[in-house]
């Protein structure tokens, strides 16, 4: 069975800061035993790496320079869905706190303060709406 996974969690330097956030090797090994992993970064699909950090402000994604990046994030989410459909992927394993891939928590600005909100990122939300099962990186510790 195929599962799409946030590319940065496999060690690819595609995050906004040009770095990665790899999972523990044991978890990656277990995932590889259970799934045919398809790495994808919806942000790097539509934006350069590195790029200014971005957060939700209301329903839009604004980077730290005040530039609206909502359409780029939506473009990456749509590409993730396209890949899932083409490759019959039914599971997405997402990087928490990402405005794209967060499954349970997403970075946002509320009343001028940065916080972690209980809400999915653009890609996770779209995939869930289309019937893709979401798995949080936080749920992999007991995997």
Q: What is the pTM of this model?
A: 0.92
Total domain count for the chain? 1
Rounded distance, CA 88 to CA 68, Å? 32
Across the range 41-67, mean pLDDT stands at 93
Task: Show the domain range for 90.
Answer: 2-142
Which residue, among 139, 137, 54, has the nearest Cα to 96 in the 3D structure?
137
Average pLDDT of the chain to the nearest whole number? 93
46 neighbors 141 (Cβ within 8 angstroms) = no
Across the range 105-123, mean pLDDT stands at 76
Does 109 have pLDDT greater than 80?
Answer: no
How far from each other are the two terminal CA atoms of the chain, in whole angstroms?
16
Predicted pLDDT of residue 112: 62
């Amino acid at each position: 069975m195929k599962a799409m996974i946030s590319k940065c969690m496999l060690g690819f330097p595609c995050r906004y800061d040009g770095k990665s956030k790899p999972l523990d090797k044991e978890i990656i090994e277990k995932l590889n035993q259970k799934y045919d992993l398809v790495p994808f970064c919806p942000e790097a699909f539509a934006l350069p790496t590195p790029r200014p950090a971005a957060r939700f402000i209301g329903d839009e994604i604004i980077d730290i320079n005040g530039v609206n990046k909502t359409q780029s994030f939506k473009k990456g989410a749509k590409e993730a869905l396209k890949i899932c459909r083409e490759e019959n992927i039914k599971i997405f394993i997402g990087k928490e706190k990402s405005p794209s891939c967060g499954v349970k928590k997403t970075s946002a600005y509320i009343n001028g303060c940065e916080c972690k909100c209980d809400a999915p990122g653009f890609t996770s939300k779209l995939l869930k709406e289309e019937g893709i099962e979401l798995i949080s990186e936080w749920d992999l510790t007991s995997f």
